Amino acid sequence: MTETLTYRHLFGPGPSNCYPEAIAALGHPILGHLDPLFIEILDRACDGLREVWGTRNARTLPLSGTGSAGMEAAFVNTVGRGDVAVVAVNGLFGERMCEVARRAGAEVVRVDHEWGQPIDPERVASAHPAPKVIAAVHAETSTGVLSDIAALGKLKGDALLVTDAVTSIGGLELLADDWGIDVGYAGTQKCLGVAPGLAPFTISDAAFERRIKDPQSWYLDIGLLGGYVGAASGSKRTYHHTAPVAMIASLQAGLGHILNEGLDAVQARHAAAGLALQNGLQEMGLELFAAEGCRLPSLTTVRVPSGVDSAAVRSYLLENFSLEIGSGAGEFASTVWRIGMMGPNANPGSVVLVLGALKEAIAKA
Ligand code: PLP
């Protein structure tokens, strides 16, 4: 394999998506999952997650699994056979929600929106007279669109509001309690600036009371997971599964970075970087994909100029600048690029680097 190593392997990737504290924590001695020091780290991680979720929910914890595990947990704990789940779809992850809810036994009422547009809270809330769950993605990573979850929360009635905050948590305003989010899930690898592997999850007491009591997933049964986090959730700690101690220590360190910098300052940094990138792309004559007024700062979508080979540009950026940008999703795979500005990458230097490198790549690739 050595001969296939490239510049990137030898000298590391380009700008890192992870906060230095989160990376450093991965190199610390690995504690046992029952070590009181680890329990303290877990408690602190849960406290930090409450801050970034904007919640006081006792049951706020890092699930062992990626963001999709959080999605599974959200649905298996809230819907069973025959329960109605209204799902707002304006991109790939809304679509995935439909599939996960269906497999959990729900009767899915899907409310489609044009990709690149935010969800319409009124249309979603009026799609069914008495759903058990209404679900929506706050920040659609596949299209770069931010939706108004607070507005949906006001209209949810008796339904439980399930929210995907994978690409907003830790970088954008997120106020789970104020907005009426009953169940929320996220990932660590986006604005939290931690490696992928955990799913920050939160569920209100009211939603917990209305949960599916014997869900088809043992591993993701939130009724059992209260004991896993122990004191942090007000429960007596009991063994559930062996905690991924290194990842949780890394999450705790990453959250520490965010809270030390200040949540407002971190959000302002993401907002400024996203806006500067979007302005710069438009100054280059490129057309943004997400509708104006709902563009995510953390993930910018831009149309590939006609005649330009999307994949060739992405390879050029990777090989020459160690910069990875995403292709589009679904039918936009080769006509849209997706550029992240997340965690430590959300800074003016990254913006200048991406704009300069992209200009060169478009000209030469
Ligand atoms: N939801 C959104 C909005 C996402 O962006 C992603 C992943 O990028 C997921 C869910 C799934 O998360 P994961 O890939 O960590 O399982």
Residue in 166, 172, 183 to alter for ligand 1 test, most ligand atoms within 8 A of Cβ: 166
More confident residue, 236 or 286: 286
pLDDT, tens digit, for every residue of 90-146? 999 999 999 999 999 999 999 999 999 999 999 999 999 999 999 999 999 999 999
pLDDT of residue 213: 95
Ligand 1 centroid from CA 93, angstroms:
7
Q: What are phi and psi of 253, to 5 degrees?
A: -70, -40
Specify the amino acid at residue 43.
D
What is the CATH number that goes with domain 264-364?
3.90.1150.10
| Amino acid 332: pLDDT | 96
Average pLDDT value for residue range 63-78: 98
Per-residue confidence (pLDDT) for residue 179, from 0 to 100: 98
pLDDT higher at 226 or 133: 133
Strand locations in the chain (E)? 59-64, 84-89, 107-112, 133-137, 139-140, 145-146, 160-164, 183-185, 198-203, 299-303, 326-327, 336-340
* CATH number of this structure's domain 20-261: 3.40.640.10
Residue 84 and residue 130 in contact, taking contact as beta carbons nearer than 8 Å: yes
Domain boundaries, the chain: 20-261, 264-364
- State in Å: Cα 65 to ligand 1 middle: 11
For residue 210, say whether it is annotated as part of any ligand binding site: no
Q: Is the pLDDT of residue 188 over 90?
A: yes
Beta bridge partners of 6: none
Residues with CB under 6 A from ligand 1: 66-68, 71, 93, 137, 141, 164, 166-167, 187, 196
d(CA 54, CA 44): 15
pLDDT score of 1: 45
pLDDT for 158-187, tens place per residue?
999 999 999 999 999 999 999 999 999 999
Q: What does the alpha-carbon distance between residue 105 and residue 108 come to, in Å, rounded to a whole number?
A: 9
**Contact yes or no for 54/266 (Cβ under 8 A):** no
Whether residue 45 contacts residue 255, with contact meaning beta carbons closer than 8 Å, is answered with: yes
For a pLDDT cut of 90, what percent of the chain falls above it?
Answer: 90
Q: Which residues pair with 185 in a beta bridge?
A: 164, 201
Which of ligand 1's atoms lies nearest the C-alpha of 187? 15
207 Cβ neighbours under 8 A, 6+ residues apart:
78, 160, 182, 183
